[in-house]
Every structure is written in structure tokens, then in C-alpha cells.
Structure 1
């Protein structure tokens, strides 16, 4: 099994609460091209810890990845941690910060792929899988900028 450690940075000309509203709202299919999402478990905690969402990410390469994201940590509007299970297994951490009129989004995604063919071909195709991940994240950055009508400064 291969472990992937991805790190993504975005900067938006936007207030942190606007960006948090999209990332922390978990309705990624509303603004992230190629993503379908649906809540599958809504707990009783006000902070959302324990809530679960099912995601399917269609990628630029001819495959998709499905997983369940469970909220395991949250500090609105600055921190969100999920545990992923399914075709991807691991952890994702969103960290947001406000720098003047800019919101910086930092995402760390540490996962293992649970698709046998991906693990079998990882020694050869790992660079393609990394490129594919970057393309998916690029769609997310552009989706936030478009949904909020703000400028994406870097990613």
C-alpha cells in the first residue's frame, strides 16, 4: 500500500468566513467541479464532530475515487480535520488564516489508496497520480473563487 502526502496552498481575495462557509459547509458538489457529495450521518453535536459525508471525486484521468469523510476536529473558521475511509483512507486537514484582505487556505491530505490496481501500478504511475491530484485541487480552487466571485491569487 502506498501513502500519499499532499500539500495544497490557495490564497483568495476574500474574507475567511466566506471561504470557510464553502469548505466547512461540506456541499462541495455545489462549487467543486467533478465532485459529488451527500451527507450520510448527522450527529447531535452542534460543532458537527462525528458527521459523515460521502464523496466521489471524478478525476482528469479515467477513474474516480469514493470515500467517506468524518469530521474529527473543527475550530470555525480556522481548522477542519477529517478522517477518510473507503477507496482513500487517511486524514485531511484544512487550515485557514486571514492576512489583511486575503484568506490563505492550507490543506494537508495524507492518504493510502485502497484500490488494488492503483497500489499495483503505483511504482510506475505515482507521478501521474500526483499530477491528477493537483488537477483536482486546481478545480477546487477555481470553484471557490467562482462561487464567491473573488480573485484566486495563488495556489
Structure 2
């Protein structure tokens, strides 16, 4: 099976708690993240989100579909969300958030290996395309989340846009 380690950094002109809330509300990601077809709740987890399991279905820029379940294993509000993936890929995903320059910096780590033979073959033959696809989907997510965050009301009840 093929292994991948991706790191992504996003910057938002939004409070860290607003970004954290958007990232923990993954059932609504399809509203702002292009390529994310659906998110389905499988298990609720505890009041802090630990143990929550959700199924994610993505449609890549290359045309193939990818599904995996994420089980949340660690949450430290508002700076960390970590989960374990199982499905077409398996491994870990970790969101780290911190205040930076009046906004929020988000660092994402995605360490996975493919679990399907066709994916391993694709990774061997077209690894640069798989890497390009991941980065393109993450860029689309950053743009979508930025737009979503601008539509949220400020503490005084006013909208930024």
C-alpha cells in the first residue's frame, strides 16, 4: 500500500474560536468545501466530541471517489482536533490552530496509507497527480472556509460582508 504525508497551512482573518467551531462542525463542511460530497454521522461520541465517528465521501479533481470514517481521538478547544481514518485510506488527521497576526493559523497533518489495490496502483503510476489533487482540494477548502467565516456575525452582531 502507498503512504502519504501531507501538511497544509491555512490563514484566516477570523478568531481562532470561530475557525475551531467551523472545523468541529464537519457535518456542514459540504456547504463550503468543494469536492466533499457528504458527511454522515455514524457515532455521536462524548460531549467534547471524543469517539465521534463520521463518514466522509469526497469526489477528487481526478474524478474518483474516496470514502473514509474519521473517529475523533483528541480535542483541545480551541487549538487541536485529531482523528483516525479508516476506509479507502487509513491513518491520522490533525488540525492545530493558533492565533496569529490578529487572525488564525491552521496547520493540518494528513498521514495516510491507501487501502484499496486500485489506489495503490494509481499512487505508484501517478503519484504527482495524487499529490496535486490533495493540494488542490485543500486549497478549495481554504477558499470555501474563508468565505464561510466572512459570513458569520461578529461579536457585536454585525456581518463582515
TM over 0.5: yes
The CA deviation string for residues 53-106 of structure 1, in whole angstroms up to 9 with x for no partner, is: 010111100101100000000001100001000001000000000014110000
* 1:30 shift after superposition: 2.3
Q: How big is the alpha-carbon RMSD for the aligned residues of Structure 1 and Structure 2? A: 1.2
Match in the other structure for 2:145: 144
* 1:138 shift after superposition: 0.9
Q: Which runs of 5+ in 1 are unaligned?
A: 151-155
The CA deviation string for residues 106-148 of structure 1, in whole angstroms up to 9 with x for no partner, is: 0000001112112123222111000000011011101111101
Match in the other structure for 1:48: 49
Q: Any conservation in 1 of the 2:35–2:61 contact (CA below 8 Å)?
A: no
Are residue 90 (structure 1) and residue 80 (structure 2) matched?
no
Are residue 6 (structure 1) and residue 6 (structure 2) matched?
yes
Match in the other structure for 2:26: 26
The whole-number CA distance in structure 2 between the counterparts of 1:54 and 1:133 is 18
Normalising by structure 2, report the TM-score. 0.89
For these two proteins, the number of residue pairs brought into alignment is 149
